[in-house]
Structures are given as C-alpha cells and as structure tokens.
Amino acid sequence: MTELNKLALKILENGKGILAADESTGTMTKRLQSVKIVSTAENRILFRETLFSSKEMKECIGGVILYDETIKQNASNGKNISKFISDIGSIAGIKVDTGAKQLAGSPDEKITEGLDGLRERLKEYSKLGAKFTKWRGVYNISDKYPSKLSIDTNAHALARYAALVQECNMVPIVEPEVLMDGDHSADDCFEKTSAVIKKCFEELILHKVDLSGVILKPNMILAGNDSKNQITNEETAKLTVKCLKESVPNEVPGIAFLSGGQTELQATENLNLINKFNDTNFIMSYSYGRALQQSALKHWAKDVKDIQGTQKVFDHRARMCTLAAQGKWSKELENN
Ligand code: 13P
C-alpha cells in the first residue's frame, strides 16, 4: 500500500467525507451577499472557523478543501488554519486550479486553467500544511456539448495536474463536473458523464498517475434542472453506481461526490441510496460544498455571534452525510 493510497483511504474512512470550503473570494462573496453579510476577509474566516471548530468535524469530516486566501489565514487562537484543522483530527487540502475560462475553439464551453507555475505553488501549499488538492473541470450538456475538444482538453489538464500533485506527495482530487443546468434527460447525463470520466482515466494512465492515490469527485446522474422528465432518487442511485462501475478503474480507492446544486436533503438521500446499491469496491462518500454549508450559513447570517447554534446546524448535516456514506441514513434520523 503506498503512502498516497493510505492518505486517500484515511480521508474517507468510516463514512467520513470532505467539506468543500474552497469557494473563491468571488463565489464566497455571492454566498455571503445572498444572506446579507458583507464579504470581508474577517467574515469569511469567521464563518469558516465556526464550521472547522464544530463537534462533528472529528468523526465526520476527513478532509477540508481550502482556498488560497484561507490556507494563509490564522484561526482566532493564532494557529495557522491547516494546523488548526489537523489538531482537530481532520486533514487540510487546497484548491489549486485558477478557475474555468472560455475554451478557445468552442467559446460556449470552459477549460480549467492553473497549470503554469503549479509545481512551485504545490511546494508552497505543502509547506503550509496541505496534504491533498482539488482541480475542477466543468462541462455543460446540450445536443452538441460537451464537445470532444472540451472532453479531451479538460482530461489532459486534470491528468497533468494530478501527476504534478503526486510528484509533490499529495493526493489529487480529480473533479470532472458535468453540470445539472439544462433540460437534458438523465440518460444524456449518464452517457456524457461516462464519456467524460473514461477520458479522464485514459489521460491519468497516460500521465502515469498512481490511481490508488487519487480520489474521484464526480457528479451524480440526474436529469437537467429544467427537464420535465425527472427521475426518482432510486434511479439516480442505480444509474450513478452503474456509470462509475463501468468508467472507473478498480485501483481507485474512493469516490467523493459533489452536490452540484442539489438540496441538502436530496444530496444526502441520493448518497444513502448509492451506498445501498454500491456493489463495487469503491468507497462512495461526499465532498459537498453547498449541501453541507447552506443551512449553517443561513443560521449564522441571522446572528453571527451564535457560534453554537450555527455549529449545531452544521453538525447535523455532517452527521447525516456520514450516515448516508455508510448507507445508514433515514428520514427519522434526519428529522430527530
Ligand atoms: P458543491 O457541493 O456545492 O457542488 O461544491 C462542491 C465543489 O467543491 C465544487 O467544486
């Protein structure tokens, strides 16, 4: 067992999942403005530290993905944020892509940037305490998209990123996100997500990435937001497991889903069903941003001094997601 494999397993052991708290300052500003909080560096770390110091972090959250600003900030006790997270028993990670930009040659699609100077940035993040990383490729679905150009170029970038990350002894989260936006069917989502993931692994293998030291972060299989033909949660779970079984090599230790605009409840219930139907060797857990933070953020915004109340809301979400990652979640537990 390699060190990277051990680390990937440790992040996702015993139903633990990942807290994606790596919103860029622009995205975090939108989230804070939506609940009428001014987006200052102090407010951003205040909310995040409130989550990081909550009770269920130790048992439920195996890793926290940070943003560049946050990994350079200190907690209120003066400790560097990654040290603060590791003292709790979790592991700090870092988003290293620099965002999705218009793809030359197919301007309605995106290519994720950030490879230039990445080796040097990784060394810096490693010194700051990061043990794993994230890079998100993003794809939209329509009749003609994602194009071969978008599938190939994003897979190439994800593979070059993952190879550099492993060279620096960190675990890369490989995130190809096929978006929920649009009126496409779940079958379209299945077909296109499968093509995207298969191409990613083809490139990862070409770039000699150790697949046992990678965490895949995919979307679930869902009909588009505007589709009239929504499918049941059972169907989502079955199609998601089928897609991953057919597209992901066996060496990969773990899969941690993004929530991608699903409600907190939907993301939890779907993950629970996925684990009920999971007949693979992959750990299937979560790496949620919105589906872990939304209610906590709303609560906090009503009274930013109510740290305990905010933590209670977050702790419940984290516990429910961890139960779902073990296939042990139920509506009764949710409502208790
Ligand atoms: P959501 O769970 O809000 O989709 O965020 C996860 C993430 O990290 C997207 O890159």
* Ligand 1 centroid to residue 259 C-alpha, Å: 6
* Ligand 1 centroid to residue 67 C-alpha, Å: 13
Out of 217, 245, 298, 312, which one is annotated catalytic? 217
Number of domains in the chain: 1
Q: In 3-state terms, what secondary structure has residue 111?
A: strand
Ligand 1 probe mutation, 138, 287, 317, most atoms within 8 A of CB: 287
Ligand 1 probe mutation, 135, 266, 290, 293, most atoms within 8 A of CB: 290
Ligand 1 probe mutation, 288, 292, 295, most atoms within 8 A of CB: 288
From residue 237, alpha-carbon distances to 10, 139, 215, 241 in Å are 25, 21, 19, 6
> Counting atoms of ligand 1 from 1, which one is nearest the CA of 175?
10
Q: In 3-state terms, what secondary structure has residue 254?
A: strand
Give the DSSP letter of residue 183.
Answer: S
* Ligand 1 centroid to residue 140 C-alpha, Å: 15
SS (H, E, C) 73-95: CECCCCCEHHHHHHHHCCEEEEE
* Ligand 1 centroid to residue 257 C-alpha, Å: 9
* Ligand 1 centroid to residue 24 C-alpha, Å: 11
Nearest to 93 by CA among 169, 173, 10: 173
* Ligand 1 centroid to residue 328 C-alpha, Å: 23
> Counting atoms of ligand 1 from 1, which one is nearest the CA of 260?
4
One pLDDT digit (tens) per residue for the chain, 336 residues: 899 999 999 999 999 999 999 999 999 999 999 999 999 999 999 999 999 999 999 999 999 999 999 999 999 999 999 999 999 999 999 999 999 999 999 999 999 999 999 999 999 999 999 999 999 999 999 999 999 999 999 999 999 999 999 999 999 999 999 999 999 999 999 999 999 999 999 999 999 999 999 999 999 999 999 999 999 999 999 999 999 999 999 999 999 999 999 999 999 999 999 999 999 999 999 999 999 999 999 999 999 999 999 999 999 999 999 999 999 999 999 998
Whether residue 217 lies in the annotated active site: yes
> Counting atoms of ligand 1 from 1, which one is nearest the CA of 293?
3
- What is the residue whose two structure tokens read 């949660």? 233
So what's the pLDDT on residue 159?
99
For 26, residues 6+ apart whose C-beta sits below 8 A from its C-beta are: none
Closest residue by CA, ligand 1 atom 10 = 136
* 0.85 exceeded by pTM: yes
Tens-place pLDDT, residues 85-113:
999 999 999 999 999 999 999 999 999 99
Domain containing 305 — which CATH number? 3.20.20.70
So what's the pLDDT on residue 1?
84
Q: Which residues line ligand 1 (CB under 6 A)?
A: 20, 136, 175, 258-260, 288-291
DSSP 12-79: TGGG-EEEE----HHHHHHHHHHTT----HHHHHHHHHHHHTSTTHHHHEEEEEE-HHHHTSB-TTS-
* Structural domain boundaries enclosing 319: 3-335
Sign of CA dihedral 144, 145, 151, 154: positive
